[in-house]
Structure 1
Amino acid sequence: MTSIIDNAAPARHGSASGLDALFSPNAVAIVGASDDIRKYGNWIAVQALKGSRPVHLVNRTRSTVLGLPTVPSVSAVGSPVDLAVIAVPAAGFEAAVDDALAAGAKAIVGISAGLGEAGGEGLALEQRITAKVLAAGARMLGPNCLGVLDHTTGLTLASNEFPLGNIGVISQSGNLALELCALLADHGLGVSRFASLGNQADLDAADLIEAYAGHEGTAAIAVYCEDFRDGRRFARAAAKAAAAGKPVVLLTVGATDASVRNAKSHTGAMVSSGIVVEAACRAAGIEQVTSPAQMAHLLQALVRSKVPAGSRTAVFADGGGQASVASDSAATQGLDVVEFPADLQAALAAELPPTAAVSNPVDVAGGGEQDIMCFARVLDHLTASDAVDATLMSGYFGGYGSYGPELAAKEITAAHAMASSTAARGGTVVVQTMNWESAAADALRDGGVPVYRGIEEAAWVLGRLARRRTEPATGVPGLPAPATPVEDTGYHLSRRLLAGAGIPFVPAAEVATREDLLSAARGLNYPLVLKALGDEHKSDRGGVVLGIADPPALEDAWNDVQARLAPSSCSLEEMANLSGAVELLVGVRRDPRFGPIVLVGLGGVFAEVLRDVRCALGPVTREQARGLLLSLRGAALLTGARGRAPVDLDAAADVVARLSVLAAEHPEISEIECNPVAALPDRAIALDARIVLD
């Protein structure tokens, strides 16, 4: 197989690591500063003036704004200004950028809308302005964005206030960012940095992830993105951030046609399909979520807890019903609520009333009212045990303080002890309590233990943490050097190209006349297959005749196909013995953002009916291809279901890997497919081939 080299292109406009002018400027100019409370120029100016760095208000027609003197242009400031925030109508945006660059600005934040997202002349104008920014050695965020913020440097250049914390937020939607921040605040979390992507005319999500990955004040990165631009670079940036200890949580769109239409009207975005984004997330170790609420829940766990060593989960509650519900919730998330060994049960029993359950789940059975510190002792036993990887706690904890001031103080003490013990043991503990807003719950959070209101949320995040260990990132593959472009996609030319890459086919010949047919048949072994060429769904139209046993049957098949379909040519092939075969779909599609995407699934004529498909960023190795095949819902058919002989999985995986490399070598190919590939007990062989050029 062709070796893979990492020839990934660098960032489109150079490194994003040097964004000091954006996140830590010496001074700021607000172009379009206004007294009108309906305008962004007002909202951002109000926020900017809360900081400690110099802020210059630029307005061409007013001498004062917000009671402060203005200047008519950035050039008129008279001192260096690293960053200009431009909030003027689209018609005045280019002139404002020209002025800021002439004054020496190194970063532009474009609030103005009506440019690239409008298409046509607006897009052309945006591209012209971007070229000027880059030629000046500057960078631009937006346009059509909400602003930028960095709490670690005291920079507040967004339309709204954001709670202080350690979550870096990158968003292509202003309102979604605001909703996320409100949800983070519910968990006692906040924002370190915020950047609004807007149209990504220059700086894109990958640039910002790279900048956040090296930011000391950021512990995790939250991204809402509609258009990934260079999807491979986005994935690589996220993988680097995760390697630096800053996991990336992604919310995107593309699950429905309606969401795609709205994204295109919102930012002129090109939206990749959901299955492609999922493949990129698996490769890069990105945590994908479906709502801002899920994002906030998972971020709390990622920054406060740790990935457990396995899925063995202790359920710990102070009520029988909640213990049972928590156990079921944990199992639904793939966690193993295993019975404890005898020594652990004995240690737990010694801490609790005789009526307590200690086999897993643990139910303190009223022990909390008698001795609130039993929670800390039980949790310490659980986190110290070699039989437990993680603990899911559920119930009433945090509410005992309502029974009196003495118990309230002890409950907080117990919470501090639980958090300290968890940290000292290096344990993974997730808590759900109906009293999630209590002082004791806050003490747990402050000590690094995530706390949730609902058991579904708590079990879900614990399951996601566990899967970070059991389903690690596969890595973002590099791309091979391009090969000589393919110019003809005829069926037999496609077969020869694939066969040259090491993909096995049955012997075959292309025939256009009866004489060609009879001549080719003399060099092949019966039974034969006759395929009418030029029809993607030829089997549905009777264009594939199987089991041709002898020359008379061959002539009959030829006459029938010619009479019904009149194809320009046919393929005559030996018929493979498919006894014990599983038919697979193996293909590669080229996504405009993420490049070659490998697809494997249960195939043949039922591929579109079964829709049992898995995807990965291509190219893939044989081992990765094997993992894809085994992750299919119907994988049991490959490994020997109901007494069937298992197929040669390595041979099938080899076909997938070889096809993926071939497709990656040919960027001019938009689709390449072998359907079906017959996976047999002793080999795998391709029975069809199709190539579509871009």
Structure 2
Amino acid sequence: MTGRDLRALFDPASVAVVGASDDESKYGNWIGAQALRMAPERPVYLVNRRAATVLGRAAYPSLAGAPGPAELVVIAVPAAGFEAAVDEALDAGARAIVGISAGFAELGPEGRALQDRVAKRVRAAGAVLLGPNCLGVADSTTGLTLASNPLPAGPVSLLSQSGNMALELSRFLAGRGLGFARFASLGNQADLGAADLIRACTTHHGTEIVAVYCEDFGDGRAFVTAAAEATSAGKPVLLLTVGASAASVRGARSHTGSMTTDGAVIDAACRAGGVYRVASPRELADLASALRGCAGPVRRVGVIADGGGHGAVASDLAEAAGLAVPEFSPALVAGLRAELPPSANVTNPVDLAGAGERDISSFGRVLAAALADEEVDGVLVTGYFGGYREYGPALAAAEVAEAHTLAGHVRAHGKPVAVHTMHPDSPAARVLAEHGVPVFAAVEDALRTLALLGTGGTVRPAATPTAAAPPVTGDGYAEARALLAAGGVRYPPASVVHTEEQAVDAAERIGYPVVLKALGPVHKSDLGGVALGLRCADELRAAFRDIYKLSGYSVEAMADTAGGVELIAGVHTDPRFGPVAMVGLGGVFTEVLRDVAFALAPVTAETAHGLLTGLRGAALLRGARGRRPVDLDAAARAVAAITQVAAAHPEIAELEVNPLLVTPNGAVGLDARIALA
């Protein structure tokens, strides 16, 4: 793993704040006040060109006038003076610069040009720039306090493109007993990007979890690689991003000049890097809390409730979240039956049926039995636990002791457990949280967190692309077909023709029945540009005269479609993440069905197989209602070949085969399309 040296950013020997101010409405005031919290551990120099004192401390008119050099310089001046301030910092020997100032790429081309010019200068000097248009940096392990607001210390390193998002997340984390090891406000990422900072956190001893709020991924493949490195090093990466709605895209572009990326592409990138994608700051904090305990994917969940209503509602919500609540094994049912009163339900969900009041230790015995079962991946405890203290001091003390017992079982079995209680602030609930067992006030949050545990943590990198090939210059159907065939996709015999006689001659060589296609339009069938199953010269001549008129045609052998399923497979180039593979149910109803899956390209045949079997309509491929299963291995090889062709040709913006016909006997392409960048 390689990366840039960011020691001067997170552990500088000395700091200067350029633009420090007594005006409490300015960032220079907020940052300056936070910077002074570090004195006297490290020298802090306040720079203000017009004031002799700022915040009750001596101020200097320039960095050159300060008593010593500043290894890290924070610049909080108007955009018009930013470039000059950067030059002054570099001349004074700064190794890291934090640009608080706004007014750059987020304002348009002129601002972007200024931003790029400054970043180039910083890199040429061997320094690093965080921002501009950011909210600062902090590191609780080194005592660095250069963010606009105080932040709680803890094991989570946050890299955020939004300052306010960081402040909200800090509240959620603090409520779960967590805080920040590091905080870096990404801003416009003119120099340092999310990938650089993820790498720095991966090697940071104080970071256990890396959280990212990002609107623009910059080099998306670098982000994925850095996230994969962190995941492999045992430091989960959690991502909160935008792009699911038109409004969020508009907001991101006006906010940081970002170019947001389609949500399906981001999901594919997260799978490749082992990243957990969350939908809100609260969800991020919940998942971070769960990952600090017993992490691991959960598919089959055991539900333990001290009331039938809680168990039933939790079961419905679990399945809505994508979790299964299967009936317990006979052995587990028998074991639970021995521990609980006859009125208890023990099949899953478990209803303790009043056992909690009579014997609070029943919680621990039931939890231990459920966790020991190999058919249970994780457990939800839901209901009243934490509230039994209201029945008297003896039960209150026993409940706290049982919380310690529950935490011990979780630790011993190493499976995820979430506790939902209507008393989340009770002493027993606090014991659970202190021992790493996540506690939730809402059962839907608990179940969503358990479901999220299975969405990340495993790196699935894209395949290694083949060597680059000579550039493609033509974007016609015949060129696309020939390119794909050369790359390993099987096509029926075909011939391009321009006249009726040429069509008949070609059909005689190929053998009837044949297909006649008009070359050119994407949706040929919609325009009357395809004639199928032509069995003789007379039918071919009639079709030639009636078909959609264009300058060129393709005569092709008619594929045997018996027992076949039409797929769509292709690659499009995302401006941030590069080539992205797409596969789904295809043919003329592709846009209607919208049953598609994505992965970063190129993909292996194994990955393609997984994409195909994960489709909603995968039952059609396995054989449904008496149909024979299709050759999934052949389909996967064809999809992999398509993605390799696209990856070898960066000049291709889109490459598509629709339909890719898959039958019990193999896979064959029936169309092809190229769009050049």
Work out the CA distance in 2 between the residues paired with 1:461 and 1:675: 38
**Residues 403, 83 of structure 1: alpha-carbon distance in 2 compared, 3 angstrom cutoff:** same
* Residue among 94, 109, 118 paired with 2:83: 94
**Residues 416, 614 of structure 1: alpha-carbon distance in 2 compared, 3 angstrom cutoff:** same
Q: Please say if 1:655 is aligned against 2:642.
A: no
| 592-601 or 116-125, larger mean C-alpha shift | 116-125
Q: Is the 8 A contact 2:8 2:96 kept in 1?
A: yes
**Residues 291, 80 of structure 1: alpha-carbon distance in 2 compared, 3 angstrom cutoff:** same
| 614-623 or 418-427, larger mean C-alpha shift | 418-427
1:667 aligned residue: 650
| 128-137 or 157-166, larger mean C-alpha shift | 157-166
Q: Please say if 1:453 is aligned against 2:441.
A: yes
* Residue among 485, 491, 515 paired with 2:477: 491
**Residues 586, 90 of structure 1: alpha-carbon distance in 2 compared, 3 angstrom cutoff:** same
Partner of 1:590, secondary structure, is strand
Displacement of 1:371: 3.1
Work out the CA distance in 2 between the residues paired with 1:338 and 1:523: 60
Correspondences of 1:127-206 after superposition (within 5 Å): 127-206=116-195
Q: Please say if 1:607 is aligned against 2:590.
A: yes
For 1:86-137, what per-residue CA distance to the aligned partner results, in whole angstroms no more than 9, with x for missing partners?
A: 0000000011111111111100000000012212221111111111100110
> Where in structure 1 are there 5+ consecutive unaligned residues?
1-9
**Residues 311, 115 of structure 1: alpha-carbon distance in 2 compared, 3 angstrom cutoff:** closer
Displacement of 1:628: 0.8
> Where in structure 2 are there 5+ consecutive unaligned residues?
none
Displacement of 1:436: 0.8
**Residues 344, 104 of structure 1: alpha-carbon distance in 2 compared, 3 angstrom cutoff:** same
Q: Is the 8 A contact 2:3 2:200 kept in 1?
A: no
Q: Is the 8 A contact 1:232 1:476 kept in 2?
A: no
| 191-200 or 488-497, larger mean C-alpha shift | 488-497
* Residue among 627, 634, 641 paired with 2:617: 634
Work out the CA distance in 1 between the residues paired with 2:24 and 2:387: 44
* Residue among 355, 359, 362 paired with 1:374: 362
Work out the CA distance in 2 between the residues paired with 1:647 and 1:371: 57
Query: What is the letter of the counterpart of residue 137 of structure 1?
Result: G
Work out the CA distance in 1 between the residues paired with 2:299 and 2:635: 31
1:65 aligned residue: 54
1:4 aligned residue: none
Work out the CA distance in 2 between the residues paired with 1:533 and 1:388: 56
2:304 aligned residue: 316
Q: Please say if 1:571 is aligned against 2:551.
A: no
Q: Is the 8 A contact 2:340 2:352 kept in 1?
A: yes
Correspondences of 1:238-249 after superposition (within 5 Å): 238-249=227-238
**Residues 230, 64 of structure 1: alpha-carbon distance in 2 compared, 3 angstrom cutoff:** same
1:525 aligned residue: 511
Q: Please say if 1:420 is aligned against 2:403.
A: no
Displacement of 1:387: 4.8
Work out the CA distance in 2 between the residues paired with 1:234 and 1:34: 36
Displacement of 1:260: 1.4
Work out the CA distance in 2 between the residues paired with 1:487 and 1:297: 51
Work out the CA distance in 1 between the residues paired with 2:494 and 2:414: 62
Displacement of 1:353: 4.2
Q: Please say if 1:544 is aligned against 2:530.
A: yes
**Residues 515, 421 of structure 1: alpha-carbon distance in 2 compared, 3 angstrom cutoff:** closer
Displacement of 1:349: 4.5
Work out the CA distance in 1 between the residues paired with 2:212 and 2:455: 20
Displacement of 1:239: 1.0
Q: Is the 8 A contact 1:284 1:476 kept in 2?
A: no
Displacement of 1:304: 2.2
Q: Is the 8 A contact 1:504 1:684 kept in 2?
A: yes
Query: What is the letter of the counterpart of residue 571 of structure 2?
Result: V
Work out the CA distance in 2 between the residues paired with 1:413 and 1:590: 57
Partner of 1:79, secondary structure, is coil
2:320 aligned residue: 332
Q: Is the 8 A contact 1:538 1:544 kept in 2?
A: yes
Q: Is the 8 A contact 1:236 1:476 kept in 2?
A: no
1:646 aligned residue: 629
Correspondences of 1:30-45 after superposition (within 5 Å): 30-45=17-32
Correspondences of 1:253-264 after superposition (within 5 Å): 253-264=242-253
Partner of 1:148, secondary structure, is strand
2:573 aligned residue: 590
Work out the CA distance in 1 between the residues paired with 2:576 and 2:348: 48
Displacement of 1:435: 0.6
Work out the CA distance in 1 between the residues paired with 2:575 and 2:156: 30
Q: Is the 8 A contact 2:231 2:459 kept in 1?
A: no
2:112 aligned residue: 123
Work out the CA distance in 2 between the residues paired with 1:358 and 1:201: 58
Work out the CA distance in 1 between the residues paired with 2:465 and 2:147: 39
Q: Please say if 1:265 is aligned against 2:248.
A: no
1:509 aligned residue: 495
Q: Is the 8 A contact 1:305 1:450 kept in 2?
A: no
Displacement of 1:206: 0.7
Correspondences of 1:323-402 after superposition (within 5 Å): 323-341=311-329, 343-402=331-390
Query: What is the letter of the counterpart of residue 653 of structure 2?
Result: S
Q: Return the TM-score normalized by structure 1.
A: 0.94
1:5 aligned residue: none
Work out the CA distance in 1 between the residues paired with 2:101 and 2:624: 60
Identity of aligned residues (%): 56
Work out the CA distance in 2 between the residues paired with 1:579 and 1:160: 67
Query: What is the letter of the counterpart of residue 498 of structure 1?
Result: L
2:287 aligned residue: 298
Correspondences of 1:203-222 after superposition (within 5 Å): 203-222=192-211
Work out the CA distance in 1 between the residues paired with 2:347 and 2:555: 67
**Residues 232, 89 of structure 1: alpha-carbon distance in 2 compared, 3 angstrom cutoff:** same
Q: Please say if 1:28 is aligned against 2:15.
A: yes
Q: Is the 8 A contact 1:304 1:445 kept in 2?
A: no
Q: Is the 8 A contact 1:250 1:289 kept in 2?
A: yes
Work out the CA distance in 1 between the residues paired with 2:409 and 2:266: 39
Q: Is the 8 A contact 2:8 2:72 kept in 1?
A: yes
Displacement of 1:346: 4.8
Query: What is the letter of the counterpart of residue 642 of structure 1?
Result: R
Partner of 2:156, secondary structure, is strand
Displacement of 1:610: 1.1
Q: Please say if 1:679 is aligned against 2:665.
A: no
Q: Return the TM-score normalized by structure 2.
A: 0.96
Displacement of 1:272: 1.3
